[in-house]
Amino acid sequence: MTKIKISHPTGIIHKTIHLASSKSESNRALIINALCDFQCDIQNVSTARDSVTMQRLLKSDDETLDVIDAGTTMRFLTSFLSFKGKEKTLTGTPRMCERPIALLVDALRSIGAEIDYLKNEGFPPIKIKGLKTQISNKISIRGDVSSQYISSLLMISPLLPKGLEIELTGEIGSRPYIMMTLQMMSEFGIKYEFVENIIKIKSQKYVTNKFYVESDWSGASYWYSIAALAKEAEIELIGLKKNSLQGDAAMASIMDKLGLSSEFKEHSVILRKNKNIEKQIKIDFTDCPDIAQTMSVICGALGSKLTMTGVESLKIKETDRLFAIKNELSKINVSVNEVIINEAYEVNNKALFSEIPIFDTYDDHRMAMAFAPLALLHPIIIENPDVVVKSYPSFWNDMKIAGFEIENI
């Protein structure tokens, strides 16, 4: 396992950063393109490992497809391969095989797909035998677990002989990701209805089209953190839209409360520091769970009390992210406490550095990038830094562009 030591000599950053492409948009576009027999023109596709894996597996003739640790790839391919009727085995890393997939499998089985579990019930690896006959056009699925299950079903639904009607039960989590899927599908000619908790898509054909993938707002969140913790900062992030399809674009309005303004240009956003730092902030991460780690670190560094709700899904990500955040923030005197009464988590205290902290990344790309900006306050060490290849392969190089000193140790 490698380690890197990170520091910044001045704490002053005036730079332009060309952000990595959105993994979320890329993976949806790749599935839609495959459903169009690869006739679409998809531009600016992410070079993140998850998207590279998706591209490779969509064209693979192998009987067993290994998604590695790509949860989106696992879920999207489960529906895609079921529709295509190809007999395939889907597997992944040991952690991937601990992440549940039963809700998606049950939904696909209910419309006629044959899928078997090869080891533990409800978890990968799975054997997909295809959907030979559609026996129903209605599915009921919980809306509060993972929007990826829903997006996976949505993308194949227009090509099903009877179309599909999906009823989302309970609270609907990560709604922006569902809307991203639907809006991207509409870019390729698909008409849909989404009224209250029911999505209806009639049987229809995709229209081949050109699609340009936006830069990644999840990746942008780490630059918001960097700008917030710098002594002085003006950072231009290239490739972002004000009216983005991505839920993590909420970062712009959230950070306005924590000392950072966002000026949107035609193809970029400029981050500047201001003095409006609120000492208490409450955020519902239901629609943007991927920025919860980043916000926990920012608030701990600034000494702002953060109350987090809508974060239960973090327990089934690449690692148990709530556990990981609590462990690592404790190394700098910041506590994360569960508040049972309102299903919330509170981040308290201001970061203190008595020595160089060593942060574990738990094989989780977002842990590495969320904690890296703390190097503006004090030198830090990050273990297993290569995990960033999952979503933002150029992250460490971009940090060097911004003046960070990074040393292998």
In this predicted model, what pLDDT tens digit does every residue of 152-184 receive, in sequence order? 999 999 999 999 999 999 888 778 899 999 999
Neighbours of 405 (CB within 10 A): 13
Check residue 171 and give its pLDDT. Answer: 85
Read off the pLDDT band of 62 (50, 70, 90). very high
**Does residue 118 contact residue 166 with C-beta atoms inside 8 Å?**
no
Mean pLDDT over residues 7-14, rounded?
Answer: 98
Residue 91 and residue 230 in one domain: no
The 8-class DSSP code of residue 397 comes to: H
Asked whether the predicted pLDDT for residue 319 surpasses 90, the reply is: no
Read off the pLDDT band of 399 (50, 70, 90). very high
Residue 206 and residue 240 in one domain: no
Tell me how many domains the chain contains.
2
Tens digits of residue pLDDT in 96-109:
999 999 999 999 99
Sheet strands (E) in 288-404: 305-309, 335-339, 344-348, 358-359, 380-383
Mean pLDDT over residues 250-275, rounded?
Answer: 94
Residue 187 and residue 55 in one domain: yes
How far apart are alpha carbons 318 and 290 in whole angstroms? 11
Tens digits of residue pLDDT in 15-42:
999 999 999 999 999 999 999 999 999 9
Residue 145 and residue 39 in one domain: yes
How far apart are alpha carbons 340 and 342 in whole angstroms? 6
Residue 180 and residue 311 in one domain: no
Residue 105 and residue 222 in one domain: no
Q: Which residues contact 52 (CB under 8 A, 6 or more apart)?
A: none
CATH number for the domain harbouring residue 324: 3.65.10.10
The whole-chain average pLDDT of the chain stands at 95
Identify the domain containing residue 321 by its residue range.
3-20+215-408
Asked whether the predicted pLDDT for residue 317 surpasses 90, the reply is: no
Q: Of 212, 231, 253, which closes a domain?
A: 212
Which DSSP string do the residues of 151-190 spell out, in sequence order? Answer: HHHHHHGGGSTT-EEEEEES---SHHHHHHHHHHHHHTT-
Asked whether the predicted pLDDT for residue 315 surpasses 80, the reply is: no
**Does residue 39 contact residue 206 with C-beta atoms inside 8 Å?**
no
Sequence letter at residue 293: Q
Q: Of 197, 212, 227, which closes a domain?
A: 212
Sequence letter at residue 108: L
Mean pLDDT over residues 62-68, rounded?
Answer: 97
How far apart are alpha carbons 396 and 402 in whole angstroms? 10
Residue 140 and residue 36 in one domain: yes
Check residue 1 and give its pLDDT. Answer: 65
How far apart are alpha carbons 273 and 191 in whole angstroms? 42
Check residue 341 and give its pLDDT. Answer: 67
Instruction: Give bridge partners of residue 140 from the DSSP assignment.
Output: 167
Tens digits of residue pLDDT in 190-239:
999 999 999 999 999 999 999 999 999 999 999 999 999 999 999 999 99
**Counting beta carbons within 10 angstroms of the beta carbon of residue 32, is it exposed (0 to 12), middle (13 to 18) or buried (19 or more)?**
buried
Asked about 69 being catalytic, the answer comes back as no
DSSP H or E segment with residue 44: none
Neighbours of 265 (CB within 10 A): 12
CA atoms within 13 A on the CB side of 173: 21
**Does residue 335 contact residue 349 with C-beta atoms inside 8 Å?**
yes
Q: Which residues contact 282 (CB under 8 A, 6 or more apart)?
A: 306, 307, 309
Check residue 213 and give its pLDDT. Answer: 96
Residue 260 and residue 134 in one domain: no
Residue 12 and residue 91 in one domain: no
Check residue 144 and give its pLDDT. Answer: 82
Q: Which of 216, 290, 360, 364 is catalytic?
A: 290
Check residue 174 and give its pLDDT. Answer: 79
Angstrom distances, CA of residue 179 to CA of 150, 158, 204: 11, 16, 19
How far apart are alpha carbons 42 and 300 in whole angstroms? 40
How far apart are alpha carbons 177 and 28 in whole angstroms? 10
Tens digits of residue pLDDT in 124-157:
999 999 999 999 999 999 988 778 999 999 999 9
Residue 242 and residue 208 in one domain: no
Asked whether the predicted pLDDT for residue 340 surpasses 80, the reply is: no
Residue 177 and residue 258 in one domain: no
Check residue 222 and give its pLDDT. Answer: 98
Residue 272 and residue 147 in one domain: no
Alpha-carbon torsion (196, 197, 202, 205), positive or negative: positive
Mean pLDDT over residues 44-73, rounded?
Answer: 95
Asked whether the predicted pLDDT for residue 318 surpasses 90, the reply is: no
The 8-class DSSP code of residue 19 comes to: P
Q: Of 172, 188, 212, which closes a domain?
A: 212
